[in-house]
Amino acid sequence: DAHPAWLPLEAWRAVGARHTVVYGQGLLVDTVFAEIERACAGHGGAVARGIGEPAGHPAQLMFALVKSLPPGDDLGRMAYAELAAPGESLGSEGFVVARPGEVTVVLADAPAGLLYGLFEVVRLGEAAFGPAYPVRVHRPALGRRMLDHWDNVDVHPVMGQVERGYAGGSIFWRDGRPRRDRARLRAYARLLAACGVNAVSVNNVNVHATEARLLTERLDEVAEIADELRAYAIRVHLSVTFAAPVILAGLPTADPLDDRVRAWWAETTRRVYDRIPDFGGYLVKADSEGQPGPFSYGRDHADGANLLAEALAPHGGVVHWRAFVYNHRQDWRDRSTDRARAAFDHFAPLDGRFLDTVIVQVKHGPIDFQAREPVSPVIAAMPGTRLAVEFQVTQEYTGQQRHVCYLAPWWSEVLQFRPWGDDGRSVAEVAADLVAVSNVGDDRFWTGHPLAQANLYAFGRLAWDPGLSPETVLDEWIDLTFDPASSAGPALLRSTLHEIMDDSWRSYERYTAPLGVGFMVRPGHHYGPDVDGYEYTPWGTYHFADRDGVGVDRTRATGTGFTGQYPSPWAEVYESLDNCPDELLLFFHHVPYGHVLHSGSTVIQHIYDTHFAGVREVEAMARRWQRLAGLVGDDVYARVDELLGEQLRCAREWRDQVNAYFHRKSGVPDAHGRPLH
């Protein structure tokens, strides 16, 4: 039985106890109605459709498509007329909430707006029904808010059912067969809609033989998922292999400029739309980590992406083409190759060549979802291209859902970052789409670690409104999930969860790789410490520690020149040893252990201090959690308690390995005489 996450019946109390009327027609309006009906069944209210009043009472809550408002409905019209710019459209997803008098009114131009409006009222709870308030307009900042599942159909011999999945199996497939668990898919769709996600890519970007067939013979399996998600305004996308024409149709080539290849994609895509009329589009990882791509035919990424975009465009679909392209067979002895440079070197020169329906999907950092990286310079380098910024909700490098690591503060920093300096646009303003790798599986809590649900929720909310503070988002999640209003200690519950989660990403950063240098994880599965695990491998993720110092020289003056991929002022800030922010120092510079940080500490003492501090913080988390016994549900309590034990064990291992390693390399003792092992 799946945990209700942020939609337990209690979260619906304010809505479900009232009398509601819903105006409008269509699938999504039906969904709104059905949701309220269910809430009323649990809380004693009533809901009516269309004209009339529910169960003989005047409505206390009204949902209406503007065009469906009955002629005599002054309330609705009044609310709508108050809009900042009268006549202004709310768009395909926007809505207003107002309380002109005794009735709370939600209006939208399009049905999806009513759905998002409903979940806003759920979030507001009783606050939606207090004293009158004027119109509040809500529109999403980003048009597409998408989750990418790295789910396999078959169990992959190395990566399993879900690549980098830490929450059990896939909710879509098991052992090569579709699961067809419709109730679970519905529940998933509701949770996603409630945080604003509107697109899902269902299969792994590494497309293996079986999964390639989802595009053709096994398309029904994708259609069945789309049928469940549609009722919650979620469009389905599919990862495809660039070699599909060869693998699936036996064509001699997948060359993007070959007419047979183009005809095959056009025809195949037409069939996809016959079966799934609102299909979202394709997601492609090409010429990356062994996946096929246009390079085999002497073509570039623009040729490859445009091929698929042309096939999709007539049907309204898009192609997400990933910029995660680098040499994963590099010689570690070769100091001139810098993996951080790769995405920019491949893609920036192609700016202007992509069709409008191509969205180049860029990981937020230049390397690979580390706990700390600078923002990818690609985001500032392609003004003529639509970009999606990709986050990783699944915690591959941030504790694998065994560690508490609330990632909203990290994402918020990235979204607020201004690549051109204070007067320029932010990452959130540059991005057309926000995408994240999902952390969901068939685990009872959806995300393995119950507190990792907050990351999924926060991703959707930040994609809707990147200006929300991580603390506010956490409050929303706590209130919905744990119903503090009815628990014995609402203030204690909220404050304790904040104490545990607000700073948990920084704690994680403290006990793992220092000062932005990244990796130092065990190769392959990426869990736990191994300082030199990747140091002499072909993967391009090195720290270059020796007896004198540590870090990667990415300057123009003496290093790989990566700093030159940034516009001003960051090109100068990162280049300069004096101005580079401490937390990214070792990403950009190789420095001696005695180098003094802005904080006043030396690099080596900083390493020791943060590793001791990080472990102490996890100890405090575990202690604080004990206070919540009896306040969060026994199953949640027990699961988190057990995982905190593992987090503490692992954090100590990180501390001791990192400290011992740098003590042995540098010979510098701890200033406070603590054991470094």
Q: Which of 217, 267, 289, 334 is catalytic?
A: 289
Specify the residue, 286 or 497, whose C-beta has the smaller distance to ligand GCW: 286
Instruction: Count the neighbouring beta carbons within 10 Å of the beta carbon of residue 110.
Output: 21
The answer to whether residues 223 and 172 touch, using CB atoms and an 8 Å cutoff, is no
Q: How far is the CB of 368 from ligand GCW (least distance, A)?
A: 5
Of 211, 310, 396, 583, the catalytic one is: 396
- Exposure string of 511-534, with b = 16+ CB inside 10 Å and e = fewer, is bbbbbbbbbbbeeeebbbbbbebb
- The CA distance from 59 to 38, in Å, is 17
- Give min distance, CB of 414 to ligand GCW, in A: 16
**Cβ proximity to ligand GCW, 326 vs 661, nearer residue:** 326
* Shortest distance, position 369 Cβ to ligand GCW, whole Å: 6
Least Cβ distance, residue 389 to ligand GCW (angstroms): 14
For residues 541 and 666, which CB has a smaller minimum distance to ligand GCW in the complex? Answer: 541
- Least distance from ligand GCW to the Cβ atom of residue 291, Å: 8
Within its chain, how far is the Cα of 463 from the centroid?
A: 8
Q: How far apart are CA 502 and CA 124, in angstroms?
A: 22
HEC profile for 372-427?
CCCCCHHHHCCCCCEEEEEEECCCCCCCCCCCCCCCHHHHHHHHHCCCCCCCCCCH
Which residue number, 459 or 593, has a Cβ lying nearer to ligand GCW? 459
Residue nearest to ligand GCW (CB): 368
From 73, 151, 211, 368, the catalytic residue: 368
Closest separation in Å from C-beta 526 to ligand GCW: 7
Of positions 396, 443, 479, 575, contacts ligand GCW by CB under 6 A: 396
Number of Cβ within 10 Å of residue 219's Cβ equals 19
User: Does residue 339 touch ligand GCW according to CB under 6 A?
Assistant: no
Buried b (16+ CB within 10 A) or exposed e, 66-78: bebbeeebebbee
Contact of 76 with 48, CB cutoff 8 Å? no
Retrieve residue 387's tokens: 């970009």
164 near ligand GCW, rule: CB under 6 A: yes
Q: Are 474 and 454 in contact (CB under 8 A)?
A: yes
Judged by CB, which is closer to ligand GCW: 368, or 509? 368
Q: Is the CB of 208 or the CB of 262 nearer to ligand GCW?
A: 208
CB 140, CB 231: distance < 8 Å:
no
The least distance separating ligand GCW from the CB of residue 289, rounded to whole angstroms, comes to: 6
How far is 404 from 407, CA to CA, in rounded Å?
A: 9
| Interface pick for ligand GCW out of 228, 310, 338, 368 (rule CB under 6 A) | 368
Q: Which residues contact 408 (CB under 8 A, 6 or more apart)?
A: 454, 455, 458, 462, 470, 473, 474
261: CB partners within 8 A, 6+ apart: 245, 251, 253, 254, 255, 307
- 206 near ligand GCW, judged by CB under 6 A: yes
> At its nearest, how many Å lie between ligand GCW and the CB of residue 25?
41
β 104-108/95-99 pair status: antiparallel
Minimum distance between the CB of residue 148 and ligand GCW, rounded to whole angstroms? 9
Residues 317 and 512: their CA atoms lie apart, in Å, by: 41
Q: Helices then strands (H, E): number in the chain?
A: 21, 20
Nearer to ligand GCW, 519 or 662 (CB): 519
Among 285, 364, 589, 595, binds ligand GCW (CB under 6 A): 285
> In the range 24-43, which residues lie near ligand GCW by CB under 6 A?
none
Q: CA–CA distance from 643 to each of 113, 400, 513, 636 (Å)?
A: 39, 11, 21, 11
DSSP lists the bridge partners of residue 64 as: 23, 107
Compare residues 108 and 283 and give the one whose CB is closer to ligand GCW: 283
Query: What letter represents residue 556's amino acid?
Result: R
Based on the shown chain and the rule CB under 6 A, indicate whether residue 412 belongs to the binding site for ligand GCW. Answer: no
Q: Which is nearer to ligand GCW, 205 or 378 (CB)?
A: 205
Closest distance of CB 151 from ligand GCW, Å: 11
User: Is-catalytic flag, 53?
Assistant: no
Task: Candidates 63, 173, 321, 324: give the one binding ligand GCW (CB under 6 A).
Answer: 324
Residue 364 as a binder of ligand GCW (CB under 6 A): the answer is no
Judged by CB under 6 A, how many residues of this single chain contact ligand GCW?
10
- Which residue in the set 205, 367, 458, 632 belongs to the binding site for ligand GCW (CB under 6 A)? 205
Distances (CA, A) of 253 to 21, 238, 285, 381: 58, 22, 18, 32
Which listed residue (150, 321, 347, 391) binds ligand GCW by CB under 6 A?
150
Active site residue 289: yes
Q: List Cβ neighbours of 607 (8 Å cut-off, separation of 6 or more).
A: 514, 515, 658, 659, 662
Question: Could you give the CA distance from residue 239 to residue 230 in angstroms, rounded to a whole number?
Answer: 19
Asked if 584 and 372 count as a contact pair (C-beta separation under 8 A), the reply is yes
CB-nearer residue toward ligand GCW: 150 or 446: 150
Residue whose CB is less far from ligand GCW, 150 or 477: 150
Which of 180, 179, 169, 194 is closest to 456 using CA atoms? 194
Of residues 119 and 519, the one with the C-beta less far from ligand GCW: 519
Told to judge if 396 belongs to the known catalytic residues of this protein, a careful annotator would answer yes
Binding-site member from 120, 151, 163, 583 for ligand GCW (CB under 6 A): 163
**Min. distance of Cβ 168 from ligand GCW in angstroms?**
17
Q: What element of type H or E holds 133?
A: strand 133-138
Considering just the CA atoms, what is the radius of gyration of the chain in Å? 26
How crowded is the C-beta side of 10, counted as CA atoms within 13 Å? Answer: 13
Q: How far is the CB of 217 from ligand GCW (least distance, A)?
A: 23
By CB under 6 A, name the binding residues for ligand GCW. 150, 163-164, 205-206, 285, 324, 368-369, 396
Hey, which residues are catalytic here? 289, 368, 396
